[in-house]
């Protein structure tokens, strides 16, 4: 399973809501597909989102407050994914679900999620850090098209497609051009390009989709490597997310990353997602593979 700075574009005239939709094939079994123009591996955020959506199909009214998942095998975008939901528990306060994603008869991903009814209680949050406002920044796809104006035609055709998540950042797509180590921190503004609708659960599902973006690249910064560095390997290993407040993901949000540790071929990254008004709506943690192949 891969994390990528540029997840696939949707099909022509297709919204991300439509792309992620599942077909129920049994009471606890669902089938999902990937867009025809996906890259060689399925974007990890897609499987997170579809697994959460499958879990929601078995939950009556409660809202997800946390999920924890593992990427087990690379996903094949050319075949459907089957999602099997285990209704682990329906308790007085919490509902628990486990979801296993299968392709070619093997698990490629699993997710555990917990749901609860909203309630009033103690309330505090971290402050949103200072940084450029989204209105001061260019769309990252525009930046990439400028950088790749002399790239091969196939690469330019790929970059001509608009990804489902709009992102703006001061340096997330250009830091690697310098080839110099940088601090393991980054900030990205992002939102869904196409309308999500009034379903609050779907806003959460698509926020989970986008939460897999740009995390591993933050852990690469101190080491002067990037996705195209010869011999460099990277992949998401696990992913956790906590939803603090409901939000409208058609509006701009700030995604703040830092990577406090890398060791043993792994990088660890933390993320905080703020609404434009400074409300902390979600927190994220991920560990990923960071490895250089031995020179031959």
Q: Is residue 91 part of a domain?
A: yes
User: C-alpha angle with apex 203: 101 to 227, nearest 5 degrees?
Assistant: 60
> In sequence order, what are the beta bridge partners of 109?
71, 101
Summarised one tens digit per residue, pLDDT across range 16-60 is 999 999 999 999 999 999 986 555 789 999 999 999 999 999 998
Domain that holds residue 271: 16-118+133-292
- Tell me the per-residue pLDDT of 80-96, one tens digit each, with 9 for 90 and over: 999 999 999 999 999 99
Reading the block at residue 46, the tokens are 């897609």
Catalytic residues: 212, 236, 286
pTM comes to 0.91
CATH number of the domain enclosing 179: 2.40.160.210
Q: How far apart are CA 6 and CA 155, in angstroms?
A: 12
**Considering only CA atoms, which of 80, 111, 72 is closest in space to residue 235?**
72
- Does residue 253 fall inside a structural domain? yes
Quick check: is 10 in a domain? no
In order of 105, 144, 231, the CA distances from 191 in angstroms are: 35, 18, 33
User: How many domains is the chain built from?
Assistant: 1
In a domain, 127, yes or no: no
Residue 1 included in any domain: no
- Helix (H), strand (E) counts: the chain: 6, 12
Exposed, middle or buried by CB within 10 Å (0-12, 13-18, 19+), for 106? Answer: exposed
User: What is the spatial distance between Cα 7 and Cα 38, in angstroms, rounded to a whole number?
Assistant: 8
42 found inside a domain: yes
CA distances from 265 to 30, 171, 269 (A): 35, 25, 14
Distance, C-alpha 167 to centroid of its chain = 12
Please return the burial class of 142, using the count of CB atoms within 10 Å of its CB with bins 0-12, 13-18 and 19+: exposed
- Whether residue 9 lies inside any domain: the answer is no
Q: What string of pLDDT tens digits covers the 296 residues of the chain?
A: 554 444 555 544 579 999 999 999 999 999 999 986 555 789 999 999 999 999 999 998 999 999 999 999 999 999 999 999 999 999 999 999 999 999 999 999 999 999 999 999 999 999 999 999 999 998 887 777 676 666 566 555 555 567 899 999 987 656 656 667 889 999 999 999 999 999 999 999 999 999 999 899 999 999 988 777 888 899 999 999 999 999 999 999 999 999 999 999 999 999 999 999 999 999 999 999 999 987 66
Residues contacting residue 137 through CB under 8 Å, at least 6 positions apart: 168, 169, 170, 189
């Amino acid at each position: 399973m891969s994390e990528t700075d540029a997840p696939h574009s949707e099909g022509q005239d297709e919204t991300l809501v439509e792309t992620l939709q599942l077909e129920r094939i049994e009471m606890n079994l669902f089938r999902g597909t990937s867009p025809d123009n996906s890259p060689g591996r399925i974007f990890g955020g897609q499987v997170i989102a579809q697994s959460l959506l499958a879990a929601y199909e078995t939950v009556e009214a409660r809202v997800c407050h946390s999920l924890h998942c593992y990427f087990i095998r690379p996903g094949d975008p050319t075949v459907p994914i089957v999602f099997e939901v285990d209704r682990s528990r329906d308790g007085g306060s919490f509902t628990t679900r486990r979801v296993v994603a299968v392709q070619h008869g093997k698990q490629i991903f699993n997710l555990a999620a917990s749901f609860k009814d909203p309630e009033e209680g103690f309330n505090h949050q971290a402050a949103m850090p200072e940084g450029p406002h989204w209105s001061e920044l260019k769309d990252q796809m525009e930046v990439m098209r400028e950088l790749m104006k002399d790239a091969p035609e196939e690469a330019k055709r790929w970059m001509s497609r608009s990804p489902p998540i709009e992102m703006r950042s001061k340096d997330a797509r250009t830091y690697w051009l310098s080839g110099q180590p940088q601090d393991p921190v980054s900030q990205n503004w992002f939102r869904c390009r196409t309308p999500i609708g009034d379903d609050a659960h779907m806003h959460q599902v698509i926020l989970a989709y986008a939460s897999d973006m740009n995390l591993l690249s933050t852990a690469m910064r101190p080491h002067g490597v990037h996705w195209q560095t010869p011999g460099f390997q990277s992949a998401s290993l696990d992913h956790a997310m906590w939803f603090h407040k409901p939000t409208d993901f058609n509006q701009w949000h700030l995604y703040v990353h830092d990577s406090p540790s890398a060791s043993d071929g792994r990088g660890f990254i933390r993320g905080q997602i703020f609404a434009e008004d400074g409300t902390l709506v979600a927190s994220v943690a991920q560990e990923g593979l960071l490895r250089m192949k031995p020179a031959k």
